[in-house]
Amino acid sequence: MLRYLAALLLPLTALAAEKPNVIIINIDDLGYGDIGPYGSKTNATPNLDRMAAEGRRVTNYYAAPVCSPSRASLMTGCYPKRV
């Protein structure tokens, strides 16, 4: 049922006039509050602050204790335990 619904709605997305700009920043060993948009007072990140003010901020995400599973899942689209 979901496949048929997706097949019906997929052409509607092609009619959208403006495509969204997506920027993915992947950084090793970055804490949640280490950049300005998330409350850092010690690290100046004016460009990230401006991007966060003008766009969407991601506050729910998934990460592994080491970087390699997170990188592999980002590149493949699979959960880290399946990579």
pLDDT in tens, 5-63: 566 666 666 666 677 788 888 777 788 888 888 888 898 899 989 998 998 887 777 66
Residue among 69, 71, 59 at smallest CA distance from 26:
71
Q: Is residue 7 part of a domain?
A: no
Residue 28 domain boundaries? 17-82
Mean pLDDT of 66-70: 81
DSSP string, 46-58: HHHHHHHHHS---
Mean pLDDT of 61-72: 77
Whole-model pTM?
0.56
Q: Is residue 6 part of a domain?
A: no
Q: How many CB atoms lie within 10 A of CB 51?
A: 15
pLDDT of residue 72: 86
Q: How many domains does the chain contain in total?
A: 1
Rounded to 10 degrees, what is the CA torsion of 77, 36, 50, 65?
Answer: -10
